Amino acid sequence: MNKTDEIRPVALPIRMLRPFPNHPYQVRDDDAMFALMDSIDAYGVLSPVLVRRGETGYEIISGHRRCHAAKAVGLSYVPAIVCDLSRDEAAILLVDSNLHREHLLPSEKAFAYKMKMDALKHQGKAPTSCQDGAKLRSDEQVAQDAGESARTVQRYIRLTHLIPELLGYMDRGEMALSVGVELSYLSEEAQYALLDAMAAEDCTPSYSQAVRMRNLFRCGDLDEKAIGKIMAEPKANQRERVSLSAQDLRRFFPPAYTAQDMEQSILRMLEERTEAQQERPTHEAER
């Protein structure tokens, strides 16, 4: 059970609330956030945020999106429940309170799993027991709570070794988990060399290419030339790509939209247009 200073919510100034250090979940100004802003603007923050006392204010454990939306619509206070938790206890609760959200990005899962596993290890407490009485390792405990296999959790945690730019490919769905895991074993220098090669060839590596690069790196034979040669290989299943400049598109979208937000909005508009065109012959036939 959580230890709380107040059973009932208290009104805390938003200016005193701080994001939890290194929390893994992104706060994006997307359609869901705009809908949350509209709701909070109309009805206020209905569900209290969860916080713990920090050195310079209150650290948010659950409610980063609500606090962001409340601040955006001009609120000065939010209802909050103050918990008396250690940093590790708060980290575990933070991860668990967000882990079953829909549409978590691969990077969010990766850093969330790592945060919880590190907190469990740091606590030094005996993990939860299985039904047969055996003790779970930290990664097994994270896996059980997340509804994943321990192997999957380990693979996601490997993604925390990727440079941000390659993680971006993962989050946009342009690179498979298996590929990202293999690339995570490359050095940061090699990953940036790969990023340059990907830009030059306008493609992403296949799984077999990623495995080969990992093996070459392990043997000390992976350099820019080897990476460029591998990425220049033709791939029969490489998808054709259409590139649009974010700068050219920005005038059609709100300033807060990211490149990913614009891409998703364009795809959604095209899908709606296609559906409308498919329905038109039916309506004309009924006339």
Is 70 exceeded by the pLDDT of residue 14? yes
How far apart (Å, rounded) are the C-alpha atoms in residues 82 and 8?
9
Class of the CATH domain delimited by 1-98: alpha beta
CA pseudo-torsion sign 272, 203, 171, 138: positive
Q: What is the pLDDT of residue 132?
A: 45
Is 50 exceeded by the pLDDT of residue 215? yes
For the residues 162-167, what does the mean pLDDT come to? 96
Q: What is the pLDDT of residue 70?
A: 95
For the residues 54-76, what does the mean pLDDT come to? 92
- Band (6; pLDDT cuts 50, 70, 90): very low
Is 80 exceeded by the pLDDT of residue 37? yes
How far apart (Å, rounded) are the C-alpha atoms in residues 240 and 242?
7
Q: List the single range of 65-79, 93-107, 244-258 with lowest mean pLDDT.
A: 244-258
Mean of all residue pLDDT scores within the chain:
85
Listed by start position, the domains of the chain span: 1-98, 162-231
* Residue position matching structure tokens 């200016």: 15
Q: How large is the C-alpha radius of gyration of the chain?
A: 23
- Band (245; pLDDT cuts 50, 70, 90): confident
For residue 206, the tally of other CB atoms under 10 A from its CB is 19
CA dist 23 → 169, 195, 209, 219, 260 (Å)? 21, 26, 33, 36, 21
Q: What is the pLDDT of residue 139?
A: 82
Q: How far is CA 282 from the centre of its chain?
A: 41
